[in-house]
Chains A and B, each alone.
Chain A
Amino acid sequence: MKKINKFIVSVFAGSILLSMSACVKDLLDQQATTELDNNAYWQTEADAVGGAMAMYNNIKNVFHKDYFFDGHGDYVRVRAVSSISSLGTPSNGGAYWTGSTSGHYYPEGYGSSFDNMFRFLYGGVNRANYVIDNVTNMLPRLPASKENLEGIIGEAKLMRALVYFRLITMWGDVPYIDKIVVNNDDVISIPRTPIEEVKNHILADLDYAFEKLPASRSADQKERVTKAAALALRGKVNLYWGSWNKNGWPELDTFTPDAAKADQAFRDATEDFRKVINDYGLTLFRGGAPGEIDDLGKAETLPNYFHLFLPTSNANNETIIGFTHGGQGSGVSDKLMRDIGPRETESSEVNVSPNYWLADRYQSTTTGDFLPPMEQLSDRTQDAKYAPDAATRPNSALNPQTYVGRDYRMKSTILWNGEVIQRLAGLQAEGLIPYHHGKQGVNNGVRFIDYNSGTNSGYLFRKFVRNYAGQGREEGNMTWPVIRLADVYLMFAEASNEAFGPTPEAVTLVNKVRARGNLPGLKPEKFANRDLFFDAIEQERIVELVLEGHRAFDIRRWRKIEEIWGPPNGSGKFTTNTWGNNVTVYFQNKNERAYQQCYIFKIPQSEMDRNPNLRQNTPYL
């Protein structure tokens, strides 16, 4: 009996011990099953590259929908932003979400609506800091990889510079953070750093990047930034710094313009751009040749400029800083088609369309100068400008013949009555179908582009809209251009014009850009003096860079809002359409404050509430 008891006792004690000695190993230390543990990363050079990739992925999200910003300008209308998820996820366009489906990308009244952009731009700052700090920590451990690791730090610093540059162009002075933030308390009370100081940090980052980045990369790594990117961005920062010092930024009351600083900045910009242009063997897409153009109403052959904005041309030699997208199934696609394309391209939405004024901007391939403004007449009896022969009268905006012999970039960029586009449905190409303002669906046996309520000008965009099948409206794989060579040419021209006046070097570069529209070179009177040459450069920027998110930033640094829309408390200006109707009026009876609120953006109110040391921009006080 005693033996039995002993046996039982031992069995019992054993089983209790068993239950005590953890049936499950590390019971309280359960690792996440689908996420990578922190400690497992930042060990190898490959990890550093991966960290940089994650940074690109995230910073892409604050630039890839810059076409919406064109709505703040005068040549593009953004009526809706339905391709953006309001959920706040940046990859769905959350940075561009303004809390409203429309209106905040109109030419006026937007300045207080970019809280999300502010937030996600700082997200980009933190992503870059995260790479910079972690890779810096790796340097002593991996001496053999020093060069590559420093190159990655250079990439991250360039990205940080890019993001801070966007921040200062919108908000002026902004808090400057240059290391990993581990605690909210670290940032909750920091003040805004004066714009000049931020600019100097940006330039310092770009100096580092220029020093450490490679001059070129292999074909499969081409989208990663190089020395040319650092220079191009440094030039652009200098150019803007020059513009602000030259033109002033009265809404940023901590900033005092200084003509001498302006001059120096323009000179520095000129130098940087010149290096970009000369030192790295960069060329315009397809050598800057205009390519072939089809007849009116045909689109079998489209000029080179159109092809530049297709994913098939991602591997061009012109894009200096660009953000890639992955296409179908990648989870990182662009939504250009959904926003820009019409209903006939995979049920897209015409969220973005040209304003009428853009059409008259396309010059004659014969004279190289503007043509007489088109006559706006309507073929609809209900309109004031009704004319029975509106569609056939010479120089009528409704007469396709009016568009003959213009800048090749026109056919590449917009659709007017009678122009055709490849119909795409269910990932199949279904033939070319015409556009006619106001006609929808099948008319007398002809199918027209449907769902045109998206445009109110009589034009649609062709630029960025794929003309081949196989991808849905949110499945694009376009590399979104942030800085490309044509832009650098024009920025060089602008900077050097500001610093030295028109020079043959600058005129040649502007002419290279014009040549891709099959336009002849500028006539001498177009660069007779600094102001005339500036106008020629602005004209090129308008047609060359439309829909790429530059115009609104240009208008602001050039302080041109009043010039475009009329002075404060005035009648404003109506946008119009091909029928000659007034469409929408902007800046009507708008006081000075409304103008100021376009020149500078509002520091997010919630951040003001959190941080007592933040100061609001004056127009929002």
Chain B
Amino acid sequence: MMHKTTKLWLGKLGVGIGFVFHSFGLLAQEINEIKPTLAVTKITKNSKDGLLPVSDVGQQNTRITGRVLDSAGEPLGGVGVHLKGTSTSTVTNVDGNFVMDSPQRNGILVFTSVGFLSREFPFSSDQRVVNVTLQPDMSTIDEVVVVGYGTQKKTNLTGAVASVTFDEKLTSRSISNVSTALNGLLPGLAVNQSSGMAGNNSSTLMIRGLGTLASGAAGPLIVVDGMPDVDINRLNMQDIENVSVLKDATAASVYGSRAANGVILITTRSGAGKKPSITFSSNLAMQRPTNGIGFMADYPRSLMVHRNAQAMSASANAATYRYGTIEQWMALGMIDPIRYANTDWFDVTMRDAVQQNYNLSASGGNDVSNFFISAGIMDERGLQIGNDFARYNARINYDYKIRKNISIGARVTGNWSNYTFGFNEGFTGGSSGNAYDLRFAVAGVTPYDPFTGFYGGRSAYGEHTLVANPLALYDHLSSKRNQKQLNSIFHLEWEPLAGLKTRVDYSLNYSDQFTVNANKAVEAYDFQNEAFTGRWILGPNVGISNDDLNSYKTMASGRISYDKVFAENHQFSALAVYSEEFWHSRILGGSRLNRIHPSLTELDAASVDGQTNTGSSSREGLRSVIGRLNYAAFNKYLVELNARYDGSSRFYKGHQWGFFPSASVGWRFTEENFLSTIKDWGISSGKLRASYGGLGNNRITNSLYEQREVLTSFNYILGGSAYSGFSNNRMINQAFSWEKVNVLNFGLDLVMLNNRLSAEFDYYERKTAGMADALDISMLISGMYTAPRHNIGEMSNRGIEGNFTWSDNKNGFQYRINLNASYNRNKLEKWGQLLLRGTRFIDMPINFVYGYEDMGIAQNWQQVYDATPQGIVPGDIIRLDLNGDGRITDEDRKADPHTQTNMPHTNFALNSSFSYKGFDLNIQLQGAAGRKDYWLSNYNELSIGERYAASWDHWNNPWSVDNRDGIWPRLNSTAGGNRTQTTFWLDNLSYLRLRNVQVGYNLPEGILRKVNINNLRIFVSGENLHTFTSYRGIDPESTASMNDVYPLLKSFSLGLNINL
């Protein structure tokens, strides 16, 4: 299924542009008159009829001029222009211009062109300039879709492919990476962004649900211009022409072993068939957080929270913080902010983020060669202080026909980035060990005193020494990562016979990532006692570390393809590919302590004592043989067969090869004569598709060498020195091999209502087999051997996808509305060994919701007595004794077979665009439903002790005898189920997000022509403007730990696109 919807949308806008021209008729006329020499007029007569003699331009003739554009606003050459009722006709030149001398003063011109709907247009003596836009004929157009190792006619496509063309409206958005840009554009592709951190804000991509349990392997294969394994997030969005998502086995099986979780094909721009031009675009966005934690910038009040918490279990005179302290702080906080701080840490550590994009490109082409070159800068100033990212991209795409039947080409692109950050997740999150920067960021810490130059630490009597000073941290933590990549692919293609093509491709991808960590020491100062607190926020001997990750990947492939039409109605094409891929990576790292001066950040500027180093390399190989056969009969009956045979070095010899075949059929039922009535119902084109096949995944090995029989080194000390020895630590299951996915897909494509509505439906069943798990081995051997892994699990994903696009053009007002939605059900079908009670269970989705039911907060002792005993007091959550055994045990948890905690089952988006007279408006709404998770993070901790920062929720929400309506359980309570996963904390993470609103204006072409500009558009755009959700945490889209709090960004941008 092919969605050229975006192209269509663009087309509609093209019509809009045409209309603008039309409206500025005079200007348009001028244009035509300016360039009479360009207009290769050709007046012909219908010589067969021979009715009219060729005549010179006579007085009786009316000269009609005009221009024909396609829906994208590109000039159409070769369009037949015919004067209705006569034999007078002409064709347009390459610029789309035509001139006709009509014998009539009034009449109707008929424009026809293959692949376009013919159009009639009246002219009169008042209107002798006829500018026309032709709409593509969706039913006949030979639209070409990028598929693996080639292209296919859209009409002949039998696999499930979704596709989007990157146009100006998309690339104008202030999005820093391509993965995030894909959100909401393609049905079946789930996109989740978890952080707004500059340089770390890419999205995870998942096609048709979770297809594997292997960590890090659930994402699709990214193929850019035939190069697999390109980092999608380092592409320059402006370079992209088109993105196709291959979802079913037929579409993806030419990438067989690597395509188990779908394939994303990205094609970059080329200059083919374009007039040379230069494009410049820029975009400047101001960004703000979408959400944040409501910490109180009110220390006395937060100390009261602590007191309240302590009052739950200790007598008043045992409180850590004394009333005197609190009252003193309350009073003096107003006059002495250095000694009595009330810090708003979000305010101190965040700033307005700024994102800038600048891009310059040139492209052009002729019969022999074409080129596209571009350079771009993307610069992000992060929301958090000390977090910046800048990326520079450059690209050259070049093709040349060295002989009539031999062509060569290259795609060479490089990128470079500089990334500055403190913690990996920005603000420390769930995965960071010990530096709870925000959790312990109490308001009573002075961030920084410029007078003394000290960073504050604890100062209140009783406050914990280990309170955090996030400003000190972010000012002194410093990691700088420089990343460079070069991706290149070269090809040589030879067509010895018509239809027979051979081609070799060689690609080389190179990547280097160098990280320098050079934190600076900082000590916390107590401004009240005017002494250091003894707390080194970053220790006095902080060192320096360098880590280099260097890798290259090569691919060599040769292919032969043959296309042939037999007996007019039988189209055959065959393809065979042989390919080898090789990966090599190397890491090298070193660290030292005790730098000779904090300003020096190189290894050699530190003491050699205690230096460490690491180094390693790894290699992987993949060998593949690929075949494809297409057959189309009478343009109605379509068959496609694919197979790929892959050998991977990850597996044990003899179990390295996997075979992944697929087959599909298609039926264009609207071409059947006996169904011709369908056309009368307004369905101009319809196709049924079915496919079935297998795909593979070799990324289920835990490491590249998991299946190698190797020994582990163990030292033993003899006579005070180490004696090296080896032993076996690993039991190998030689048969451990590919994880396989079988996909069944049914699809229906319709084009209806005079091409205004297109609809696509897909139903799929994806069955993953051979999922890996460590064998549950006996304790008699597990003390020596790590368990071998087996292919033992089966999982299914079933779902439906729909994509509906309505586009129309009324009086120059064009609009396009696209609604896409997908629904996926995940289920674990089989597991070859015992599964204990947990969130992985047979007949349940992975990570299903599994927790206690709550009966609300106990208001009084009577309710406590009435409930099953569970060690609670009034103010605690009462858990339901689900199995009624009089105890609360983990058997009382209830499973929800319909909801997963880490992914929604439904994704949907509404993309709409409107244009009128040069103005355009784009709105994207995107949402997800069917995900629930327990909102339990470090920041709604109830047991709030010393040094814990308190939020306004802690002030307002906890239940107490004075606040019986409190919506949280009482403070300082870990008793019972207050902090366990109960329905009390279960939040629905469904959301609807106003993701983009963009308003643009194209300056009239006439004006632009005068300054030799083809096109100039200015726009304002807003991202993530509003989110509707009932989730109480930071962001419902995020799938990261709830302790990660770097929010997504809301941005407002202003931009400009110029085409010269």
Contacts and interface: CB of A to CB of B under 8 A. Distances in A.
A29 B778 contact: no
Interface string B1029-1055: 000000000000000000000000000
A188 B1012 CA distance: 82
A226 to B, nearest CB: 13
A57 B715 contact: yes
Nearest to A177: B780
Interface string A37-50: 11101000001011
Contacts of A52: 725
Given A23-B582, A27-B649, A28-B621, A8 B709 contact: no
A123 B656 contact: no
Contact of B784 (A5, A16, A34, A126): A126
Contacts of B496: 5, 9
A516 B434 CA distance: 48
A201 to B, nearest CB: 15
Interface stretch (B626-634, B716-724, B990-998): B716-724
Interface residues of B, number: 67
Contacts of A579: none
Given A36-B711, A184-B731, A187-B780, A57 B649 contact: no
Given A29-B653, A36-B710, A53-B723, A124 B783 contact: yes
Contacts of B788: 184
A54 B727 contact: yes
A27 B555 CA distance: 12
B783 A222 contact: no
B708 interface: yes
Given A122-B780, A187-B781, A33 B558 contact: no
B558 A35 contact: no
Interface string B407-439: 000000000000000000000000000000000
A442 interface: no
Interface in A1-45: 5, 8-9, 12, 15-16, 18-20, 22-24, 26-39, 41
Given A20-B578, A35-B705, A30 B725 contact: no
B619 interface: yes
Contacts of A63: none
A610 B787 CA distance: 15
B620 interface: yes
B110 interface: no
Contacts of A118: 779
B783 A37 contact: no
Interface in B828-861: 834
A606 B779 contact: yes
A270 interface: no
Given A19-B557, A33-B619, A12 B494 contact: yes
A352 to B, nearest CB: 23
Contacts of B579: 19
A223 interface: yes
Contact of B623 (A5, A27, A31): A27
Interface in A122-140: 122-127, 130
B782 interface: yes
A121 interface: yes
Interface string A163-187: 0000000000001010001111001
B704 interface: yes
Nearest to A38: B709
A14 B721 CA distance: 57
B713 interface: yes
Contacts of A342: none
Interface centre among A53, A56, A477 (most CB of B within 10 A): A53
A188 to B, nearest CB: 5
B657 to A, nearest CB: 9
B558 A41 contact: no
A187 B711 CA distance: 22
A584 interface: no
B781 A181 contact: yes
A449 B434 CA distance: 27
A122 B494 contact: no
B782 A23 contact: no
For the residues of B in contact with A, the DSSP-based class is strand
Nearest to B777: A184
Q: Which of B557, B620, B622, B705 has the most chain A CB atoms inside 10 A of its CB?
A: B705
B714 interface: yes
Given A30-B705, A41-B711, A50-B725, A115 B779 contact: yes
B71 interface: no
B648 to A, nearest CB: 7
A467 B504 CA distance: 73
Nearest to A4: B403
A617 to B, nearest CB: 15
A36 B781 CA distance: 21
Nearest to A14: B504
A335 B99 CA distance: 95
B487 interface: no
Interface size class of A (residues with CB under 8 A): 35 or more
A219 B719 contact: yes
A287 interface: no
Contacts of B494: 8, 12
Given A30-B620, A34-B616, A53-B715, A181 B780 contact: yes
B451 interface: no
A361 B35 CA distance: 116
Contacts of A8: 403, 406, 494
Contact of A27 (B406, B582, B704, B710): B582
A36 B726 contact: yes
A36 B713 contact: yes
Given A38-B711, A50-B724, A54-B716, A30 B621 contact: yes
A33 B584 CA distance: 11
Contacts of A56: 716, 725
B988 interface: no
Contacts of A23: 554, 556, 580, 582
Interface stretch (A67-75, A253-261, A326-334, A500-508): A326-334
B313 interface: no
B1018 to A, nearest CB: 49
B718 A35 contact: no
Nearest to A182: B731
B728 interface: yes
Contact of B779 (A38, A55, A122, A223): A122
B618 interface: yes
A221 B647 contact: no
Contacts of B714: 53-54, 57-58
B619 A30 contact: yes
Contacts of B502: 12, 16
Contacts of B720: 314, 477
Interface in B46-64: none
Q: Which of A47, A181, A219, A331 has the most CB of B within 10 A?
A: A181
B717 A324 contact: yes
Interface in A168-225: 175, 177, 181-184, 187-188, 190, 219-224
B293 interface: no
A611 interface: yes
Contacts of B779: 115, 118-119, 122, 604, 606-607
A354 interface: no
B784 A221 contact: no
28 contacts: A24-B580, A26-B621, A27-B580, A30-B620, A30-B621, A31-B705, A31-B708, A33-B619, A36-B710, A51-B727, A53-B725, A54-B712, A54-B727, A57-B716, A58-B714, A120-B783, A122-B780, A122-B781, A127-B784, A181-B785, A184-B787, A187-B780, A190-B780, A223-B718, A224-B718, A332-B717, A477-B717, A610-B778
Which 3 residue pairs are nearest across A and B when measured between Cβ atoms? A123-B783, A53-B725, A27-B621
Interface of A: 5, 8-9, 12, 15-16, 18-20, 22-24, 26-39, 41, 47, 49-58, 60, 90, 95, 115, 118-127, 130, 175, 177, 181-184, 187-188, 190, 219-224, 314, 324-326, 330-332, 477, 604, 606-607, 609-611
